[in-house]
Structure 1
Amino acid sequence: MGKIAFVFPGQGSQTVGMGKDVVEQHEGAKAIFDKADERLGFSLSEVIFEGPQDKLTLTTNAQPALLTTSTAILQCLKEAGIQADYTAGHSLGEYSALVAAGAISFEDAVYTVRRRGELMEEAVPAGEGSMAAVLGMDREALKEVTDQVTSDGNPVQLANMNCPGQIVISGTAEGVEKASVLAKEKGAKRVLPLQVSGPFHSSLMKPAAEKFGDVLGGIEVKNAGIPVVANVSAQPMSEATDIKEKLIEQLYSPVLWEDTVETMLKNGVDTFIEIGPGKVLSGLIKKVDRSAKTYSVQDMESLDAVLASLKEESR
């Protein structure tokens, strides 16, 4: 068997009730939810388990909620003795990956992503920024489009390189709209506006990044016990100082997810376990490499199924 990577989803995967059955059946998972409520000073668990969905989807709630759910499920895998050779996460998911690698304590991480959400919300007033997924266009061609629109005075840039033929753009509402029209003219198959509250991973997030440096200054970041492949560089990182720098850059830099998957494949990973709600990353990984084995663990049923499959393989 080759190497295993744990990968963690980002914002957009949250659903009311996520993690509930895991918490009901696993002491270790329940402890994570309890720690989140205690560190944040309100019942995040209630928001996760009871919603409503629009409250859970607020950036300031969605970020700690996803981190908490992913970490609780991770706890179950760890208790079952499953270990990873690499970790990575999509945008917000990078924090779950850092917790998994022992670089940041869960309590510090949940506080940090709550503040990250607040700063991202504050950076650009609602409605002034947006994001859209562009399908069926390559990176270079789309970058020419965004550069052109930006130079005309409407900032927009490539934000997520998700997999071949799926790239998210981010910027001012006007910039994204103009780039969407131009991308279609230049051959993009489809452009889908995303339901997000701001222009994440664009230069408009730089004011948030400056303040976020102070937040990171207040928590302990240690060297990672296993390599975490960074969104910003798509290269493994394990030094504490490097991790802090990359987390600040991550706010206004593109998420190089396709390249991140390529890096892990080149380093011998053949099994990816997506930990947390949804199967978004599993789908993207398959588009990068059809032969990669992907599992997604989001509830007790999928947890039991994955543990059985891995046991079978290691025989």
Structure 2
Amino acid sequence: MTVVTFPGQGSQKPGFLSAWLEDTESRTTLEQLSETSGIDLVLHGTESDADTIRDTAVAQPLIVAAGILTWDALRTHLGEQLTDVAVAGHSVGEIAAAYAAGIFDAATAMRFVTKRAQLMAEDAAKVTTSMAAIIGGNEGDIIEHLSNLNLSPANFNGAGQIVAAGEPAQLEELRKNPPAGTRVLPLKVAGAFHTHWMADAQEAFAALEEEFPAENPTRQIYTNRDGSVVTDGAEYRRYLVEQVNRPVQWDLCMTAFLEAGHSGLIEAAPAGTLVGLAKRGMKGVPAVAVNLPSDIDAASELILGA
């Protein structure tokens, strides 16, 4: 079985949806998602610059919309042959995965991510924070180093990567004096997501949870909480809300994929990050990045051959 994955914030690139909108059906879908979210996703996916789409309130709905377009294209291409796949998302990508699993319909997914983005952006505006990826090194030494700098681990991505989050001065100190055997790469995000800096957003979001109808999943879906498969839609929705200020455990997701015997991995647009992690953390498992509509053929071949 193949697992279809959906990337998180920071994966967006200027103009990355331009080729998708050459298809009339995809353009109509994106226009509908724009209307639901109140955000011009057509503009932001084709013309807006990197700084504009770095804004949390824009980036998160844009990435989920891209996941919806990718899944719809796979479904159109494969029909019932898409039934035997699992899904998972990284951070905000979990919302696109919820759409693919049938937990949310497209409108609910967009309303959910738009509110999530708004609340997280509000928290991010209270104190200037950001994130940086730490590549290599010993996990225990890294966690101790972050604690000494008053930084928090936000993502355990596996394949030798941990993402740190916190205030700019501390992140700069991390860059100048990284843990032994590591290198530090700043990320294109505007907040310390999945840490205590998002506590107010999580609390506010929890109060609104029931406004988003959730059905039980129609296919296997993994959670960033601990890499487990979730079979109850309301439970998955609760995990989405709680994940706002909890670390993303993508390392445990990849371990679960391997233990379940998944024989291929596909990453929806804007793709690259999760395929890269899979190549290092799931050695020998074929992986396909779907960035353009033309990539759907390769993704379909992987699914049919699994």
The percentage of aligned residue pairs carrying the same residue is 28
Count of aligned residue pairs for this structure pair: 303
Letter in 2 for 1:14: Q
**Once superposed, what is the RMSD of the aligned Cα atoms?**
2.0
Q: 1:300 to 1:85 in 2, by over 3 A?
A: closer
Indicate which of 9, 13, 21 corresponds to 2:19: 21
Alpha-carbon displacement from aligned partner over 1:120-161 (angstroms, at most 9, x marks no partner) = 111133662221111212222212223344xxxx3x221111
Task: Specify the SS of the correspondent of 2:16.
Answer: coil
Task: Specify the SS of the correspondent of 2:87.
Answer: strand
Counterparts of residues 95-110 of structure 1 (less than 5 Å) = 95-110=95-110
1:119 aligned residue: 119
2:155 aligned residue: 160
2:191 aligned residue: 198
Deviation at 1:224, TM superposition (A): 1.2
Alpha-carbon displacement from aligned partner over 1:254-275 (angstroms, at most 9, x marks no partner) = 1111210110111121111111
Task: Specify the SS of the correspondent of 2:8.
Answer: coil
1:49 maps to 2:46: yes
1:216 aligned residue: 209
Q: 1:74 to 1:26 in 2, by over 3 A?
A: farther
Deviation at 1:212, TM superposition (A): 1.1
1:141 maps to 2:136: no
2:247 aligned residue: 254
Q: 1:212 to 1:277 in 2, by over 3 A?
A: same
Q: 1:138 to 1:242 in 2, by over 3 A?
A: farther
1:58 maps to 2:51: no
Counterparts of residues 283-294 of structure 1 (less than 5 Å) = 283-294=276-287
Judge which range, 37-46 or 191-200, deviates more: 37-46
Structure 1 spans left out of the alignment, 5+ residues: none
Letter in 2 for 1:54: D
Deviation at 1:175, TM superposition (A): 4.2
1:271 maps to 2:269: no
Q: Give the ranges of 4+ consecutive aligned residues of structure 1 lying more than 6 Å apart after TM superposition.
A: none
How high is the TM-score relative to the length of structure 1?
Answer: 0.89
Deviation at 1:84, TM superposition (A): 4.6
How high is the TM-score relative to the length of structure 2?
Answer: 0.91
Q: 1:310 to 1:230 in 2, by over 3 A?
A: closer
Instruction: Tell me, in whole angstroms, the C-alpha distance in 1 between the residues paired with 2:155 and 2:184.
Output: 14
Deviation at 1:94, TM superposition (A): 0.5
Structure 2 spans left out of the alignment, 5+ residues: none
1:10 maps to 2:3: no
Q: 1:246 to 1:50 in 2, by over 3 A?
A: same
Instruction: Tell me, in whole angstroms, the C-alpha distance in 1 between the residues paired with 2:129 and 2:23.
Output: 41
